[in-house]
Amino acid sequence: MNLAVIGLQFGDEGKGKIVDFLAERFDIVARFSGGSNAGHTVIHGGREVRFHLLPSGVLRGKIGVLGNGMVIDPAKFEEEVETLRDLGLDPDLKVSRRAHIVTGFHRMLDARDDEVIGIGTTRQGIGPAYVAKFRRIGIRAQDVLNGEILEKKLRMLARLFNLDIGEADKGGEEEAAEPWRISPELPGRR
């Protein structure tokens, strides 16, 4: 049996709690889109646990899948994995090779755009990462596994958006360059 929990708003609907409740009946819990700008909080063993990227069903020992529609901040990903390990859990996580990676460039662009436009973003780089995805110039999880491709794409983004690559390095590429943190394997995928 397959089941999808889909929200009809931008958030604050309780999707994470619903997924946590329903996860008991399934082997795999997945997120197909989104980033770390929002999140959900669930209670596990009497402790409040906050997620921004991972599906809450991983608290129940389920396989967690981050799909190709996601934009993943590697530092936030690692924080959430560490939270699970602190709870004594060893999460089985799969990340689509086609999921996009949020970098320091995206956070810089988000902050710059917010200064000019004033739309009140979270400045987490989610919007610019999706723009890069839709323009087909983004950094995907599979690119992180190849240092040459990663560097080429980072330089291309710097040039396209007139950004200083040294400044962006301060924003998180160190995390993105550690491929062991992002498992590119999805069940049944190449």
What Rg, from alpha-carbon coordinates, does the chain have?
Answer: 17
Within this chain, do residues 88 and 107 fall inside the same structural domain, yes or no?
no
Rounded-to-integer distance, Cα 158 and Cα 20, Å: 40
Give 95 or 190, the one with higher predicted confidence.
95
100 is catalytic: no
Rounded-to-integer distance, Cα 11 and Cα 34, Å: 11
Tell me, yes or no, whether 185 lies in a domain: no
Q: Is the pLDDT of residue 185 over 80?
A: no
Q: Average per-residue pLDDT in the chain?
A: 82
Q: Which pTM value belongs to this model?
A: 0.80
Within this chain, do residues 91 and 109 fall inside the same structural domain, yes or no?
no
Residue 19's domain is classified under what CATH number? 3.40.440.10
Secondary structure (3-state) at 132: helix
User: Which of these is catalytic: 20, 40, 73, 100?
Assistant: 40
Residue pLDDT, tens place only, 39-74: 888 888 888 988 999 988 899 899 999 999 999 999
12 is catalytic: yes
Within this chain, do residues 85 and 105 fall inside the same structural domain, yes or no?
no
